[in-house]
Amino acid sequence: MAATIALGALVAAPAATASPEGAAAQCGAGRGIPDSQISIQLYTHVGELGSGTPTAENLDRVLGEVADAGFRNVELYDQPYDMPVEELKALLDEHGLHAASSHGSTDWDTWPETVAYAAELGQRYVGSGGIPGGIDSYEDTVETAAYLDQLGEYAHHNGVNKVLVHNHTSTFDVKFTHPETGETVTAWDVLEENTDPRYVTFELDIGWAAEAGVDVANLIEEHGDRMDLLHVKDAVNIGSEEGLTQVGLGDGEMDFAEVLGAAKGDVRYYTYEWDWAPSFESSAKSFRFLDCFTF
CB atoms within 10 A of CB 31: 11
pLDDT of residue 11: 44
Q: How far apart are CA 104 and CA 81, in angstroms?
A: 9
Better-scored residue on pLDDT, 90 or 55: 90
Percent of the chain past pLDDT 90, that is, above it, reads 85
pLDDT of residue 166: 98
To the question of pTM greater than 0.85 for the whole model, the response is: yes
Better-scored residue on pLDDT, 6 or 99: 99
Residues in CB range of 43: below 8 A, 6 or more apart = 77, 103, 129, 273, 275
Confidence of residue 153 (pLDDT cuts 50, 70, 90): very high
Query: What average pLDDT does range 263-278 have in this prediction?
Result: 96
Query: What average pLDDT does range 233-261 have in this prediction?
Result: 97
Write out the DSSP string of 133-181: S--SSHHHHHHHHHHHHHHHHHHHTTT--EEEEE--THHHH-EEE-TTT
pLDDT of residue 4: 41
- Choose which CATH entry (3.40.50.800, 3.30.70.640, 3.20.20.150, 3.40.50.970) describes domain 36-292: 3.20.20.150
Domain definitions of the chain by residue range: 36-292
Q: Is the pLDDT of residue 125 over 90?
A: yes
pLDDT digits (tens, 9 = 90+) for 41-73: 999 999 999 877 788 999 999 999 999 999 999
